[in-house]
Structure 1
Amino acid sequence: MDLFDHPDNPVPEGGVSAMVETVDRVRLRTARWMPTQGPLRGTVTLLQGRAEFIEKYFETIVDLRARGFAVVAFDWRGQGGSDRLLRNRRRGHVDDFADFVVDLETVLQRISLAKLPGPHTALAHSTGCLVLLLAARRLRTQIDRAVLAAPLLGLGEVGLPQRFVCPLAATLSAIGFGAAFVPGQAGKVHMPFENNPLTSDPLRFQRSETVMAACDRLEIGAPTVDWLAAACRAMRQVFDPRFGATMPLPVQIVAAGQDRIVSTRAAEAFARQTRSARYLEIPGARHELMMEDDLYRDQFLAAFDAFVDDSALDDGARTRGRAVG
């Protein structure tokens, strides 16, 4: 599936799109770009959030290329232009977040590491952050550092407290309702701008809505019960006290002060127990930091720049990486 070009959201020039297949035979849509300016500073692999797609990140891809980075983007299984997992294409589904780890490892091995130069940086948002953390121990020799934007480490304002939501999701999954939408969601996709939890920027909000309306094959609705149960298991795994103490990957966590989708306090707590993590919170920002108003988005990009340029990063992180193929 090629990238979707829209006058309000044009495809950045020079991209190469390709489908890659995982070991469990799921086809993933990928795209890559070389930088528009030199000197070449390495490669950034983008890990999007739940229900997102490559096209939503075109503006960020342009910004990263202008900074001298090659960029790799891809759609997780079950969303965007990658293979859907259920007959109803609008159900945001996965059985286990280990499947998303397979997606990430496939893209890194087939695209990022095989075809683009190091050092290698992961830039992840929300669900993508949780997947990256699950894979962090294995990826330390492949990814040099990671920036986590509004990470999914705890649930936000979802009605019931997380201590009730997670056991309920596990129970519903166990008794055969795993492929059903999360109760109360009914496949919701679109929302009005007023009081939306994603961004305070009306133009960027409308751009995403316009792209989905013009190319509805990219969109999915609410998560399934299995997706939620899997997310709960993954969050519990990364909050094991041994996890943070031994995680080797240097990460910069950037949380949104007005996040209603995920828990900012959970992100802060994770940073406190993880020796390789730094924490920054942007007051007033909503969940989608890379699609926020410039007041907040510029702060996020400044944090990204400071972290990837940090002289404290080891020399190996500055030199690892394969030649362009």
Structure 2
Amino acid sequence: MEHAPFFADVADGPENGAAWWLPARDGVRLRVGAWRGTVERGTVLLFPGRTEYIEKYGRTARDFAQRGYATLTLDWRGQGLSDRLTGDIMSGHVGLFSDYQHDVAAMIEAAEALDMPKPWHLLAHSMGGCIGLRAVIDGLPVHSCAFSGPMWGIQMAKSLRPLAWSLSFGVRHVGLGHLYAPGTDPENYVLTEPFETNKLTGCPDMYQYMIDQALAYPELGLGGPSLQWLYEALKETRALSLHPSPDLPCMTVLGTKEEIVCPRRIEQRISKWPGARLELVQEGRHEVLMDSPGVRAPVFDIMCEMFDTAPPTEGQSQVSKDRAPRSAAASPARQS
């Protein structure tokens, strides 16, 4: 694979980070990045959220490296340094939500080509949680899966949901799907939203980390989602809500101050996932993995404990045969 730009100066990750270009099946050029630990107990396949990029997870890769895990992640199509999909490079756009599965397939090919240590485990955040749930249902070759604020539903006022559906559906037929969803714009969120009112993290240092990256390399940034993206996201989250969970060990972390994705959808999914575990983080916002060290450390400890003890699989998850609701093992809320 051909090496791609990698901004180690702002990633603050392990010293051995690198990035490569690779093509998706439909010709979209993607960027994939990896950090390999020195004591390798396996690899975390990290699915980032909307607007995110490889370097944002440098500190997360460091947390995993300290626990013996390598990290492989990517820039989804339409963001980071992967191919942008509209003339407006700040628009978070996608043709079909299923197109992200082409990116997943390319990532797995890269994991094989780079000989990333096995077993593999999934960690998926926000939009990546939606893509990741579909991927494990379809047989992603991982031994376990973890989710952080997964986008299994989008949080919005009940009165606005019919409008979001009708507007995002309608504009697709008149060639305006590339326009920004209502209430969003081309601006990079962390460069316009003060720390005090941000919905991402309660840690000033981590918020500054995001700001510094955005200022140093503005080409990594992204603005609001397009109406096409919104329609596809609504359609995919609804479809997934009707699908049974895969037969894989699972844990999900959710901040009690979550304002971006829908907590109710998360709780419903976990309550019907046999053996799944829900970790509530008191005062946590959307990006629990980007919070203070005192919040992050227990989350990574619990996550890696699950990775360590996940039973061997034959390389593909199987949809759970037990579709009856069960109570999730929700642990006591953690203090941030």
TM-score (ref. length: structure 2): 0.86
Matched, 1:265 2:235: no
**Large movers: runs of 4+ above 6 Å:** none
Name which of structure 1's ranges 162-171 and 213-222 shifts more when overlaid on structure 2: 162-171
Q: Shift of the alpha carbon at 1:271? A: 1.2
**Equivalent residue in structure 1 for 2:25, among 23, 26, 30:** 23
Aligned to 2:204: 202
Name which of structure 1's ranges 52-61 and 277-286 shifts more when overlaid on structure 2: 277-286
3-state SS, counterpart of residue 214 of structure 2: helix
Partner AA of 1:3 in structure 2: F
Cα 1:116–1:31, aligned 2, differ >3 Å: closer, same or farther?
Answer: same
Q: Shift of the alpha carbon at 1:42? A: 0.8
Cα 1:127–1:113, aligned 2, differ >3 Å: closer, same or farther?
Answer: farther
Q: RMSD in angstroms over aligned alpha carbons?
A: 2.1
| Mapped partners of 1:215, 1:160: distance in 2 | 38
Q: How does 1:55-134 map to 2 (within 5 A)?
A: 55-112=55-112, 115-134=115-134
| Mapped partners of 1:272, 1:296: distance in 2 | 24
How many pairs are equivalent? 309
**Equivalent residue in structure 2 for 1:222, among 210, 221, 224:** 224
Contact 1:31 1:73 in 2 (8 A): yes
Contact 1:156 1:261 in 2 (8 A): yes
Contact 2:153 2:237 in 1 (8 A): yes
Contact 1:248 1:276 in 2 (8 A): no
| Mapped partners of 1:159, 1:215: distance in 2 | 37
| Mapped partners of 1:17, 1:122: distance in 2 | 19
Aligned to 1:184: 183
| Mapped partners of 1:77, 1:259: distance in 2 | 26
3-state SS, counterpart of residue 300 of structure 1: helix
TM-score (ref. length: structure 1): 0.89
| Mapped partners of 1:257, 1:113: distance in 2 | 40
Q: Shift of the alpha carbon at 1:233? A: 0.8
Contact 1:108 1:114 in 2 (8 A): no
Partner AA of 2:303 in structure 1: F
| Mapped partners of 2:28, 2:172: distance in 1 | 23
Matched, 1:138 2:113: no
| Mapped partners of 1:207, 1:158: distance in 2 | 31
3-state SS, counterpart of residue 211 of structure 2: helix
Q: How does 1:254-293 map to 2 (within 5 A)?
A: 254-275=253-274, 277-293=276-292
Q: Shift of the alpha carbon at 1:277? A: 3.3
Contact 2:6 2:18 in 1 (8 A): no
Aligned to 2:47: 47
Contact 1:45 1:112 in 2 (8 A): no
| Mapped partners of 2:42, 2:272: distance in 1 | 29
What do residues 111-147 of structure 1 show as CA deviations (whole Å, max 9, x unaligned)?
257621211001110000100111223324x111110
Partner AA of 1:211 in structure 2: Q
Matched, 1:233 2:232: no
Aligned to 2:153: 154
What do residues 224-269 of structure 1 show as CA deviations (whole Å, max 9, x unaligned)?
00111111011011111xx125x23332121111111111121001
Matched, 1:5 2:4: no
| Mapped partners of 1:149, 1:113: distance in 2 | 27
Cα 1:15–1:293, aligned 2, differ >3 Å: closer, same or farther?
Answer: closer
5+ residue gaps, structure 2, are: 316-336
Aligned to 2:333: none
Identity %: 29
Q: How does 1:244-255 map to 2 (within 5 A)?
A: 244=244, 247-255=246-254
Q: Shift of the alpha carbon at 1:63? A: 1.2
3-state SS, counterpart of residue 307 of structure 1: helix
What do residues 149-198 of structure 1 show as CA deviations (whole Å, max 9, x unaligned)?
00001112468543542333222323332100112212231321111100
3-state SS, counterpart of residue 170 of structure 1: helix
Contact 2:6 2:55 in 1 (8 A): yes
| Mapped partners of 2:248, 2:166: distance in 1 | 30
Partner AA of 1:59 in structure 2: R
Contact 1:155 1:262 in 2 (8 A): yes
Contact 2:201 2:286 in 1 (8 A): yes
